[in-house]
Amino acid sequence: MNNKQNNEQSSTKEVLMLRNSLRAALLAVMVVVFVTANTHAQTNASVAVNASAKVMGNLSISKVADVAFGDISATTAGAVALDPKGATSAYVGSAAAAGEVQVTCDAGASVRLTWPTSITLSDGASTPDLLTYTLNVYGYDGNGGQSSSSQLSLSSGYTSVSPTGTTYTLWIGGSLGKLTSQVTGTYNSTNTGGSSASFTVEYN
Protein backbone atom coordinates (compact mmCIF):
# COMPACT_ATOMS: atom_id res chain seq x y z
CA MET A 1 0.00 0.00 0.00
CA ASN A 2 1.45 3.33 -0.99
CA ASN A 3 1.42 6.59 0.95
CA LYS A 4 -1.44 7.96 -1.10
CA GLN A 5 -3.70 5.06 -0.15
CA ASN A 6 -2.70 5.39 3.52
CA ASN A 7 -3.51 9.06 3.50
CA GLU A 8 -6.89 8.43 1.87
CA GLN A 9 -7.78 5.79 4.49
CA SER A 10 -6.71 8.10 7.33
CA SER A 11 -8.78 10.92 5.87
CA THR A 12 -11.78 8.60 5.54
CA LYS A 13 -11.43 7.51 9.17
CA GLU A 14 -11.17 11.11 10.32
CA VAL A 15 -14.28 12.04 8.32
CA LEU A 16 -16.21 9.13 9.83
CA MET A 17 -15.08 10.02 13.34
CA LEU A 18 -16.03 13.65 12.76
CA ARG A 19 -19.43 12.60 11.46
CA ASN A 20 -20.00 10.37 14.50
CA SER A 21 -18.95 13.18 16.85
CA LEU A 22 -21.29 15.61 15.11
CA ARG A 23 -24.14 13.11 15.29
CA ALA A 24 -23.55 12.57 19.02
CA ALA A 25 -23.38 16.31 19.67
CA LEU A 26 -26.55 16.92 17.64
CA LEU A 27 -28.37 14.16 19.52
CA ALA A 28 -27.30 15.66 22.87
CA VAL A 29 -28.56 19.08 21.79
CA MET A 30 -31.89 17.58 20.70
CA VAL A 31 -32.28 15.85 24.08
CA VAL A 32 -31.55 19.09 25.95
CA VAL A 33 -34.01 21.01 23.79
CA PHE A 34 -36.68 18.34 24.29
CA VAL A 35 -36.23 18.29 28.08
CA THR A 36 -36.18 22.09 28.26
CA ALA A 37 -39.31 22.34 26.14
CA ASN A 38 -41.11 19.84 28.38
CA THR A 39 -39.98 21.70 31.51
CA HIS A 40 -41.25 24.98 30.14
CA ALA A 41 -44.56 23.39 29.19
CA GLN A 42 -45.06 22.13 32.75
CA THR A 43 -44.26 25.44 34.45
CA ASN A 44 -46.72 27.25 32.18
CA ALA A 45 -49.74 25.12 33.20
CA SER A 46 -52.73 27.04 34.59
CA VAL A 47 -56.15 26.53 36.17
CA ALA A 48 -59.10 28.92 36.60
CA VAL A 49 -60.58 29.50 40.07
CA ASN A 50 -64.04 31.02 40.11
CA ALA A 51 -65.69 33.02 42.94
CA SER A 52 -69.29 33.42 44.03
CA ALA A 53 -71.32 35.16 46.74
CA LYS A 54 -74.98 35.11 47.72
CA VAL A 55 -76.14 38.50 48.97
CA MET A 56 -78.73 38.16 51.75
CA GLY A 57 -81.06 40.71 53.28
CA ASN A 58 -79.96 42.99 56.09
CA LEU A 59 -79.09 41.12 59.29
CA SER A 60 -79.49 42.90 62.62
CA ILE A 61 -79.69 42.24 66.34
CA SER A 62 -81.12 44.65 68.89
CA LYS A 63 -81.74 44.75 72.65
CA VAL A 64 -85.36 45.11 73.71
CA ALA A 65 -84.80 44.75 77.48
CA ASP A 66 -81.98 44.13 79.97
CA VAL A 67 -82.01 41.29 82.51
CA ALA A 68 -83.33 42.31 85.95
CA PHE A 69 -83.22 40.10 89.07
CA GLY A 70 -84.90 42.78 91.16
CA ASP A 71 -84.30 43.16 94.93
CA ILE A 72 -82.90 39.95 96.40
CA SER A 73 -81.80 38.82 99.84
CA ALA A 74 -78.12 38.69 100.84
CA THR A 75 -78.71 35.10 101.99
CA THR A 76 -80.94 32.66 100.12
CA ALA A 77 -81.98 29.09 100.82
CA GLY A 78 -81.27 28.11 97.20
CA ALA A 79 -79.96 29.48 93.91
CA VAL A 80 -81.28 32.80 92.69
CA ALA A 81 -82.78 31.80 89.35
CA LEU A 82 -84.59 33.88 86.72
CA ASP A 83 -86.73 31.82 84.32
CA PRO A 84 -86.44 33.05 80.70
CA LYS A 85 -90.05 31.91 80.14
CA GLY A 86 -91.18 33.99 83.12
CA ALA A 87 -92.78 31.06 84.93
CA THR A 88 -90.66 29.38 87.62
CA SER A 89 -88.14 31.91 88.94
CA ALA A 90 -86.73 31.52 92.48
CA TYR A 91 -85.53 34.02 95.10
CA VAL A 92 -85.82 36.99 92.73
CA GLY A 93 -87.52 40.33 93.41
CA SER A 94 -91.07 41.23 92.40
CA ALA A 95 -89.71 43.46 89.59
CA ALA A 96 -87.58 40.68 88.10
CA ALA A 97 -87.79 40.30 84.33
CA ALA A 98 -85.98 38.32 81.67
CA GLY A 99 -83.90 40.14 79.09
CA GLU A 100 -85.06 40.26 75.48
CA VAL A 101 -83.06 40.44 72.24
CA GLN A 102 -84.54 40.49 68.74
CA VAL A 103 -82.90 39.23 65.53
CA THR A 104 -84.03 40.34 62.06
CA CYS A 105 -82.98 38.37 58.97
CA ASP A 106 -84.16 36.88 55.67
CA ALA A 107 -87.15 34.54 56.10
CA GLY A 108 -86.03 30.92 56.24
CA ALA A 109 -82.34 31.82 56.46
CA SER A 110 -80.01 29.92 58.80
CA VAL A 111 -78.29 32.21 61.29
CA ARG A 112 -75.62 31.57 63.89
CA LEU A 113 -76.00 33.03 67.40
CA THR A 114 -73.34 33.40 70.09
CA TRP A 115 -73.31 34.66 73.66
CA PRO A 116 -71.17 34.14 76.78
CA THR A 117 -72.05 31.33 79.15
CA SER A 118 -71.51 33.62 82.15
CA ILE A 119 -70.66 37.23 83.02
CA THR A 120 -69.74 39.14 86.17
CA LEU A 121 -71.84 41.63 88.14
CA SER A 122 -70.01 44.14 90.33
CA ASP A 123 -71.10 46.46 93.13
CA GLY A 124 -68.74 49.12 91.74
CA ALA A 125 -66.71 49.58 94.94
CA SER A 126 -63.01 50.48 94.80
CA THR A 127 -62.41 46.85 95.73
CA PRO A 128 -65.55 45.45 94.15
CA ASP A 129 -67.62 42.57 95.42
CA LEU A 130 -68.76 40.35 92.58
CA LEU A 131 -71.54 38.00 91.55
CA THR A 132 -71.23 35.40 88.81
CA TYR A 133 -74.26 35.36 86.54
CA THR A 134 -74.70 32.17 84.47
CA LEU A 135 -76.92 32.77 81.46
CA ASN A 136 -79.88 30.65 80.38
CA VAL A 137 -81.19 31.58 76.91
CA TYR A 138 -84.46 30.61 75.24
CA GLY A 139 -85.56 31.32 71.68
CA TYR A 140 -88.84 31.92 69.87
CA ASP A 141 -89.44 31.76 66.12
CA GLY A 142 -91.19 35.09 65.73
CA ASN A 143 -91.80 38.29 67.68
CA GLY A 144 -92.37 37.89 71.45
CA GLY A 145 -93.54 34.42 72.43
CA GLN A 146 -91.84 34.31 75.85
CA SER A 147 -94.08 31.61 77.30
CA SER A 148 -93.69 29.50 74.14
CA SER A 149 -89.93 29.86 73.80
CA SER A 150 -87.56 26.88 73.87
CA GLN A 151 -84.15 26.50 75.49
CA LEU A 152 -81.10 27.08 73.31
CA SER A 153 -77.70 25.55 73.93
CA LEU A 154 -74.27 26.41 72.63
CA SER A 155 -72.35 23.78 70.65
CA SER A 156 -68.75 24.67 69.73
CA GLY A 157 -69.49 28.17 71.00
CA TYR A 158 -72.63 28.89 68.94
CA THR A 159 -76.15 27.76 68.09
CA SER A 160 -77.92 27.88 64.71
CA VAL A 161 -81.59 28.70 64.11
CA SER A 162 -83.69 29.08 60.94
CA PRO A 163 -86.60 31.48 61.51
CA THR A 164 -89.61 30.83 59.28
CA GLY A 165 -90.24 34.58 59.19
CA THR A 166 -87.92 37.57 59.40
CA THR A 167 -87.84 37.83 63.21
CA TYR A 168 -86.40 35.63 65.95
CA THR A 169 -86.61 36.52 69.67
CA LEU A 170 -84.21 35.58 72.46
CA TRP A 171 -85.32 35.51 76.09
CA ILE A 172 -82.51 35.69 78.66
CA GLY A 173 -82.60 34.48 82.25
CA GLY A 174 -80.18 32.50 84.37
CA SER A 175 -78.78 32.12 87.87
CA LEU A 176 -76.69 34.02 90.41
CA GLY A 177 -76.22 30.90 92.50
CA LYS A 178 -77.00 30.54 96.20
CA LEU A 179 -76.16 33.66 98.21
CA THR A 180 -74.62 33.54 101.67
CA SER A 181 -74.15 36.87 103.47
CA GLN A 182 -73.47 38.63 100.17
CA VAL A 183 -72.23 42.21 100.60
CA THR A 184 -75.19 44.53 100.07
CA GLY A 185 -75.23 46.96 97.17
CA THR A 186 -76.42 47.41 93.62
CA TYR A 187 -74.67 44.91 91.39
CA ASN A 188 -74.43 45.66 87.70
CA SER A 189 -72.52 44.31 84.71
CA THR A 190 -71.54 47.86 83.71
CA ASN A 191 -69.88 48.72 87.05
CA THR A 192 -66.11 48.58 87.47
CA GLY A 193 -65.10 44.92 87.57
CA GLY A 194 -68.25 43.77 85.78
CA SER A 195 -68.72 42.39 82.26
CA SER A 196 -71.69 42.63 79.91
CA ALA A 197 -73.15 39.80 77.82
CA SER A 198 -72.44 40.37 74.12
CA PHE A 199 -74.88 38.65 71.74
CA THR A 200 -73.85 38.29 68.09
CA VAL A 201 -75.53 36.97 64.94
CA GLU A 202 -74.28 36.07 61.46
CA TYR A 203 -75.56 34.15 58.46
CA ASN A 204 -74.42 30.52 58.22
Assign residue 144 a region: left if phi > 0, alpha if psi is -120 to 50, beta otherwise?
A: left
pLDDT at 147 (0 to 100): 97
DSSP 97-113: B-EEEEEE--TT--EEE
Over the stretch 69-127, which tens digit does the pLDDT of each residue have? 999 999 999 999 999 999 999 999 999 999 999 999 999 999 999 999 999 999 999 99
With 0-12 / 13-18 / 19 or more C-beta atoms within 10 angstroms meaning exposed / middle / buried, residue 148 is exposed
Q: Model-level pTM? A: 0.77
Q: Does residue 9 register a pLDDT over 70?
A: no
Mean pLDDT of 198-203: 98
Per domain, the residue ranges of the chain are 1-52, 60-203
Mean pLDDT of 17-30: 67
Q: Closest by alpha carbon to 68, among 152, 186, 161?
A: 186
User: Which CATH class, in words, describes the domain spanning 60-203?
Assistant: mainly beta
pLDDT at 28 (0 to 100): 63
Our CA dihedral for 17, 20, 26, 31, rounded to 10 degrees, sits at -130
pLDDT at 125 (0 to 100): 97
Over the stretch 122-164, which tens digit does the pLDDT of each residue have? 999 999 999 999 999 999 999 999 999 999 999 999 999 999 9
Q: Does residue 203 register a pLDDT over 90?
A: yes
Over the stretch 40-64, which tens digit does the pLDDT of each residue have? 556 789 999 999 999 999 999 999 9
With 0-12 / 13-18 / 19 or more C-beta atoms within 10 angstroms meaning exposed / middle / buried, residue 86 is middle
